Structure 1
Amino acid sequence: MEAADGWLVRVRPTLGRLEAAQAFLLADVARKMGNGRISLTNRASLQLRGFSADAARRFPDIAVAAGLGLADAGMERRQAMLVSPLAGDDPACAVDTVACAESLRKALIGAEALTALPGKFGFAVDGGGLYPAGLLQADIILRAVGEGQWSVVCGGMCAPPTTYAVAASQAVGLAHVFVTSHQSVRPQRNRAVGQVLFQLLGLAGELQTFAPHPVGACCGRVGPLGSALFALSAPMGCMTADMLHDCANVAAAQGDGILRLTPWHTLVLGGMAQPPVVAGMVADPHSPLLRIWACSGAGACAQAAGETEELARSLAPLLPDGAHLHVSGCRKGCAHPAATDFTLVAGGQGYGLVRNGSATGDVESLFVDDHAVYKAFELFKNEGAVDAGL
């Protein structure tokens, strides 16, 4: 995809796991072929930025040769799937999570008809554990509900979802039905669609609710996780080629050589006898940077009306305790569509402030530049985020 700062390319490691050697390669490619900027996406993928059109065309061959993609574009697209990041490492995660994920992935790759699915249609295999069941979101979710027991949730981003106790292989059947039912909306956009799909398969479901997770439930998962596992966060999902290289170096020299990607802007390193230290990555669970979202902003995105990442970083020390901040370059709110305590939206006249809302919410105050924003947040910090006379 072409962006304001050049072409960007995405890599989706199999089952969300990146070998150190692969990470070294991507860091080198990001430096030499791109602008050195790398994003961790909410689909547990890596996004490398600033490529020329020619470099972007050459990148897939490099990725495939390194085991980071499939040569068949249709197969690559169909294997879009999130998996519990600690599957196989976390004793509390369902023991058959990896086997279930590998079985589903193999079925998806072989189901040529599923190429007709919408571009962002995806699956998830959620085994729970340290990252509780219900955190992974996708169009079709296989979720562990007990020892050897799984349920299938269609439209899992809608609450309350209806779940169905079926064999894991039937999740692929649901996708086939979706293709042939000519629905105009994705299941996550309309909870009724998921129910229709199950009805077309002749399945009866039960309402099953999961306790809601607070906004920061997954973002706070940094530092030690137990069993020699440590999580590091890329602030606002942004890292440099040097940061990825250093993470790979630590993983290879001190751990098991695997970087586990999560949908929450973190990397989990395993086999670590001591906490890893990587410059630029966040390991402190109390860091305010874990409560901030920001898109790439002006200079990287043609839609953005203002700078975002540096502004967000400068506001981190001024964020009231427990509060969450989203700095968006436009009204689309790509980095965090949900509501936060403070949402700043860049526009033609400056930065609009939405409190307790999303980027599409009502603006209650307008600041002409980032200096005015900074001064306002000083007041929020000093007065406990009360009105502060704005």
Structure 2
Amino acid sequence: MTPIPPTRRGACPAFLAPMETGDGLILRLVPSDGRLSPAQLRGLADAARRFGNGMMEVTARGSLQVRGLAPETVGPLQVAVAALGITPRIGLAVDVSPLGGLDPSEVSDGHPLAAAILAGAEHLAGQLGPKVSVVVEGGGVSLAGQKADVRLVATGPGQWALTVGNGPARVLPEAEAAAEALAALSAIAALGRAARATDLPGCDGRARLAEVGPPLGLMPLADGTLAFGFGLPFGAGDAGQFAAIADAAEAAGARDLRPAPERTLIATGLSEGAADTFAARLAALGCVTAPGDPRASIAACAGAPACASAHVPARALGPVLAEAFAPLLDGTVSLHLSACTKGCAHPAPATLAFVGMDGGVALVHDGPASGAARPVRPEADFPAAVASLAATLAARRAPGETTRALLARLDPVGLWAGAAMNRTDDVTSRAE
């Protein structure tokens, strides 16, 4: 029997079009100005509890999601969002660094260029597919790990490198870059709602996204205040956790909270003393606050039973993987726990991707979840399997060798096969 294929929808949950999955409807919210006040986040958490199942997420692209909605509760949640004064982004996704205009390390503030593209693309509403996106990188907090049909990267004041799909980059003045970006979007729209930039001439879909770490910890801002980046474990928490974060941010005098890439939030406008107190409160809430936290190196989707496509409870297995691999997470590798081969939590290739299929877990080295193949380790054996793999790798690492270099000279998939060999035949026979 061939591996069970995941459900592919060709769509994303949106504010006006929630998507159904295993635990009900998911509604995705991106504040149009990229920020929430602590009071707004607290109110959103309360709405998630009243109208959904109380679970909330921050996605890899820095969107907020409310899970477990029913058809009859979608409208009341949308009304609650409006009552909180939150304006959701509707239509084309144009992502800008969450600290654009405040980050002293950025080359250029991407907001004016993003606004010009949004205004120019209004006539394409309904013609572009829901996954079509634009990334405008002015520098600072990186968006290089995000997929984009059109990407603009600041190379100097008023100069932007434009890439359409996976074609070559061209450096253009800002006005010309905006015009070319809009021309590319029009060309995509002309191919139909199923089209992406990789369907255009000269784009082959083989580009590799950069591995970008989450923006964690203290960051200085241009106005003399501080920002503090943090995340919930694997990007998810219940309404009570989000409300407690809002309370902590308010007590610290934070100006706002900004959803950010790699499943993080960034609080801005903090003083040094307040930032230290805020960080301590976040740690007490179980948040990820430093790059050295092993959970910061692991992307995990919701998994079963929350996702209808899931083969395994990926997020529930995340702590097991973090504990086993903690000694090996030296900043040179990324781990991905995907409940199916779609790889929603980490579209880019990961150093190691543990992928649910046929009721078990396969391993991919230096590739996307879609590359998963047998052997499959039974779900029940996952804790022992990852502990064995991590211990074997640690024992074979040479002094001073990075984990990425170690994996490059060994065969982690072969080691996984060896660990799984005694049980793979049982899984295969059940599947066939």
What's 1:172 paired with? 182
For 1:106 and 1:22, the matched residues in 2 are separated by 27
Q: Which residue of 2 aligns with 1:204?
A: none
1:62–1:344 distance in 2 versus 1, CA, 3 Å: same
More helix by share: 2
Q: Say whether 1:36 aligns with 2:36.
A: no
> In 2, are the aligned partners of 1:15 and 1:81 still within 8 Å (CA)?
no
d(CA) in 1 for partners of 2:188 and 2:357?
38
CA–CA separation in structure 2 for the residues paired with 1:290 and 1:35: 25
Match for residue 293 of structure 1? Answer: 299
Question: Which runs of no fewer than 5 residues in structure 2 stay unpaired?
Answer: 1-18, 395-409, 420-432
Q: Which residue of 2 aligns with 1:245?
A: 243
Residues 191, 329 of structure 1: alpha-carbon distance in 2 compared, 3 angstrom cutoff = farther
Contact 2:146 2:209 in 1 (8 A): no
Q: How does 1:266-345 map to 2 (within 5 A)?
A: 266-272=264-270, 273=272, 274-275=275-276, 276=278, 277-278=281-282, 279-319=285-325, 320-322=328-330, 323-345=333-355
Counterpart residue type for residue 380 of structure 1: L
Match of 2:124, SS state, is helix
C-alpha distance in 1, partners of 2:191/2:343? Answer: 31
> Residues 360 and 121 from structure 1, CA distance in 2 versus in 1: closer, same or farther, beyond 3 angstroms?
closer
Deviates further, 37-46 or 176-185 = 176-185
Render the CA deviation track for 1:299-347: whole Å, top value 9, x for unaligned. Answer: 1111112211111112201113334322221122222233323322223
Is the aligned partner of 1:186 residue 2:196? yes
Name the CA distance, whole Å, in 1 between partners of 2:310 and 2:191. 37
User: Are 2:215 and 1:224 aligned?
Assistant: no
Cα pair 2:312 2:379 within 8 Å, conserved: no
Equivalent position of 1:123 in the other structure: 134
Matched, 1:24 2:38: no
How big is the shift at 1:286?
0.5
Q: What is the identity, as a one-letter code, of the residue corresponding to 1:252?
A: E
Identify if the C-alpha distance between structure 1 residues 343 and 191 changes in structure 2 by more than 3 Å, giving closer, same or farther.
farther
Shift of 1:181: 5.4
Conserved in 2, the CA contact under 8 Å of 1:126 and 1:136? Answer: no
- The answer (yes or no) to whether the contact 1:82–1:136 under 8 Å persists in 2 is no
For 1:93, which of 106, 112, 120 is the aligned residue? 106
How far apart, in 2, do the equivalents of 1:9 and 1:188 lie? 27
SS of corresponding position for 2:26: strand
Aligned to 1:199: none
Contact 1:85 1:261 in 2 (8 A): yes
SS of alignment partner, residue 243 of structure 2: helix
State the partner residue of 1:54.
Answer: 72
Moved more, 134-143 or 308-317: 134-143
Pairwise CA distance, 1:256: 3.2
Decide which of 116, 138, 149 is 1:139's aligned counterpart: 149
Matches for 1:362-377 after TM superposition, within 5 Å? 362-363=372-373, 365-370=375-380, 372-377=381-386
Measure, in 2, the Cα distance between the counterparts of 1:336 and 1:289.
14
Q: In the aligned structure 1, how far is the partner of 2:361 from the partner of 2:198?
A: 31
Match of residue 3 from structure 2: none
Helix, strand or coil at the partner of 2:371: coil
Partner letter of residue 307 of structure 1? Answer: P
Question: Offset of 1:268 from its aligned partner?
Answer: 0.8
User: Measured at CA, do residues 287 and 213 of structure 1 come closer, stay the same or move farther in structure 2, by a change above 3 Å?
Assistant: farther
Give me the whole-angstrom Cα distance separating, in 2, the residues matched to 1:94 and 1:12.
Answer: 24
Q: SS at 2:125's partner residue?
A: helix
SS at 1:352 equivalent: strand
Cα 1:138–1:290 change in 2 (3 A) is same
Q: Which moved more, 1:265-274 or 1:342-351?
A: 342-351
1:51 Cα deviation after fit: 1.1
Query: Is the partner of 1:93 in helix, strand or coil?
Result: coil
Instruction: Note the alpha carbon deviations across 1:1-25, whole angstroms, 9 max, x for none.
Output: 1111111111111142222222111
1:247 to partner: Cα distance:
2.3
- Distance in 1, matches of 2:110 and 2:86, equals 21
1:352 and 2:350 correspond: no
Task: Name the count of aligned residue pairs.
Answer: 361
Closer, same or farther: CA 382–134 of 1 in aligned 2, 3 Å: closer
Q: Distance in 2 between matches of 1:341 and 1:12?
A: 29
**Aligned-partner SS, 1:245:** helix
Structure 1 residue ranges without an equivalent (≥5): 195-209
Work out the CA distance in 2 between the residues paired with 1:213 and 1:186: 16
Shift of 1:142: 3.0
Q: Percent identity among equivalent residues?
A: 30
1:64 equivalent in alignment to 2:64:
no
Distance 2:118 2:77 in 1: 23
The answer (yes or no) to whether the contact 2:162–2:169 under 8 Å persists in 1 is: no
1:140, CA displacement in angstroms? Answer: 1.9
Give yes or no for contact 2:358–2:376 (8 Å, CA) kept in 1: no
Counterpart residue identity of residue 86, structure 1: L
2:10 matched residue in structure 1? none
TM-score, L = length of structure 1? 0.83
* Equivalent residue, structure 1, for 2:4: none
